[in-house]
C-alpha cells in the first residue's frame, strides 16, 4: 500500500513538473513526427533532390525548367508581389466556397422534401457541372459587367465562376446523404408523428453529415480551381489581379522561375484548404462516426 501511494505521488509530481510550453510542444510535435507526415515528406524531398540534380547535370536552361532552389529564391524575391495576388485569389475562393456551401445545403434540403422537385431540377445542376467553365466564363463576365457596373463587377463575375465549379459536389453529396437515412428510423419517426422539421433535424441531417463533409473537401479545392480559371479568362491586371494573372504574365515574359513560384503558392494554398477541411471533418465526426473514431487496434 505504501508503494502504491508513493507511485501516485511521484506521478502527480511528474505531471506538475511538465511546463505548459513542453505540453504545447508535445501537442504540435507529435502529429508532425507521425508516419502520415514523415513518409510523404521524405518522398517529396527525394523528388526535389532528383529534380535539382537532373537540372544541374543536364544544364537545363531556366526558361525551360528551373531547379527547386531557383524557384525558392524567386519566391523569396517576388514575395511582395505574389503574396498580395494570392490573397485576392483566396478571397474569391472563400466567398465562392461559402456561397456554394449555403446554396448547396439549402437546395439539397429542398430536394429531399419532394421527389418531384429533385427530379425536375437535379438534371440542370448536372448540366451546370458538365459545362466547361472556360467556355461560359467570358459570357458571365460580360453579363455581370452589364448588371453590376464599376470595379466590383470583375470580382462578382469571378466569384460566380468559382461558385459554379464548387456548387455541385455539395449538392450531390448532401442530397445523397439526406436520402440515405435509415428507412426503419424514418418509419419510426412517422409512427410517432414527427414533423418534417423534426425528421430533418434529428434524423436526416445527422445521417448526411459525413456526406456533407466529404463534399466540403472536394468543393474547397474546386473553388480554388474555379477562381484561378476565371482569373485566366478575365485577365485582370493592376492592384486587383490574382495569382493567375501573375502566372500569365510570367509565362508571356518567359519568367519561368517566377511562374513556378506562383504555381507553388497556388498548390500550397490548395493543400492548406484541403488539410483545414479534413481537420474540420475529423473534429465533427471523431466522437460518433465510424470513419473518424480512433480505435486501439
Residue limits of CATH 1.10.3720.10 in the chain: 68-285
pTM for the full model? 0.84
At residue 291 the predicted structure's pLDDT band, cuts being 50, 70 and 90, is low
Which of the following CATH numbers is that of domain 68-285: 1.10.3720.10, 3.40.50.1370, 1.10.150.130, 2.60.40.420?
A: 1.10.3720.10
What is residue 34's DSSP assignment?
S
Q: Report pLDDT digits (tens) over 138-179.
A: 889 889 888 887 778 888 999 999 999 999 999 999 999 999
pLDDT digits (tens, 9 = 90+) for 191-214: 999 998 999 999 999 999 999 999
Question: DSSP letter at 204?
Answer: I
Grid cell digits, residue 293: 473514431
Q: What is the pLDDT of residue 15?
A: 43
Q: Cell 473537401 identifies what position?
A: 217
Least confident range of 74-83, 105-114, 145-154: 145-154
Across the chain, what does the average pLDDT equal?
Answer: 85
Dist. CA 271–CA 276, nearest whole Å: 9
- At residue 5, the pLDDT reads 44
In the predicted structure, residue 236 carries a pLDDT above the cut 70: no
Q: What is the pLDDT of residue 25?
A: 57
C-beta of residue 257 within 8 angstroms of C-beta of residue 65: no
Closest CA to 259 of 10, 62, 59: 62
Q: What gap in Å lies between CA 256 and CA 250, rounded to an integer?
A: 6
Q: What is the pLDDT of residue 20?
A: 54
Burial zone of 177 (CB within 10 Å; 0-12 exposed, 13-18 middle, 19+ buried) = buried
Closest CA to 97 of 280, 262, 290: 280
Note the pLDDT of residue 234: 78
Amino acid at each position: 500500500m505504501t508503494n502504491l501511494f508513493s507511485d501516485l505521488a511521484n506521478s502527480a509530481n511528474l505531471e506538475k513538473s511538465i511546463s505548459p510550453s513542453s505540453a504545447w510542444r508535445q501537442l504540435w510535435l507529435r502529429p508532425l513526427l507521425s508516419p502520415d507526415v514523415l513518409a510523404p515528406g521524405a518522398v517529396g524531398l527525394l523528388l526535389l533532390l532528383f529534380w535539382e540534380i537532373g537540372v544541374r547535370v543536364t544544364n537545363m536552361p531556366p526558361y525551360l525548367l528551373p531547379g527547386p532552389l531557383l524557384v525558392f529564391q524567386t519566391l523569396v524575391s517576388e514575395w511582395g508581389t505574389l503574396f498580395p495576388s494570392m490573397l485576392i485569389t483566396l478571397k474569391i475562393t472563400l466567398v465562392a466556397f461559402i456561397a456554394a456551401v449555403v446554396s448547396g445545403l439549402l437546395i439539397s434540403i429542398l430536394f429531399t422534401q419532394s421527389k418531384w422537385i429533385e427530379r425536375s431540377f437535379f438534371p440542370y445542376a448536372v448540366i451546370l457541372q458538365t459545362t466547361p467553365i472556360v467556355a461560359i466564363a467570358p459570357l458571365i463576365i460580360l453579363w455581370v459587367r452589364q448588371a453590376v457596373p464599376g470595379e466590383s463587377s470583375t470580382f462578382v463575375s469571378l466569384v460566380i465562376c468559382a461558385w459554379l465549379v464548387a456548387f455541385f459536389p455539395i449538392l450531390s453529396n448532401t442530397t445523397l446523404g439526406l436520402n440515405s437515412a435509415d428507412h426503419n428510423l424514418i418509419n419510426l419517426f412517422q409512427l410517432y408523428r414527427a414533423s418534417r422539421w423534426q425528421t430533418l433535424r434529428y434524423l436526416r441531417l445527422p445521417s448526411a453529415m459525413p456526406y456533407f463533409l466529404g463534399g466540403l473537401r472536394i468543393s474547397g479545392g474546386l473553388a480554388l480551381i474555379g477562381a484561378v480559371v476565371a482569373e485566366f479568362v478575365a485577365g485582370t491586371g493592376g492592384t486587383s489581379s490574382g495569382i493567375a494573372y501573375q502566372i500569365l504574365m510570367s509565362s508571356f515574359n518567359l519568367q519561368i522561375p517566377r511562374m513556378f513560384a506562383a504555381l507553388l503558392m497556388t498548390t500550397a494554398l490548395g493543400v492548406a484548404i484541403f488539410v483545414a477541411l479534413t481537420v474540420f471533418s475529423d473534429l465533427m465526426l471523431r466522437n460518433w462516426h465510424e470513419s473518424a473514431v480512433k480505435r486501439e487496434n
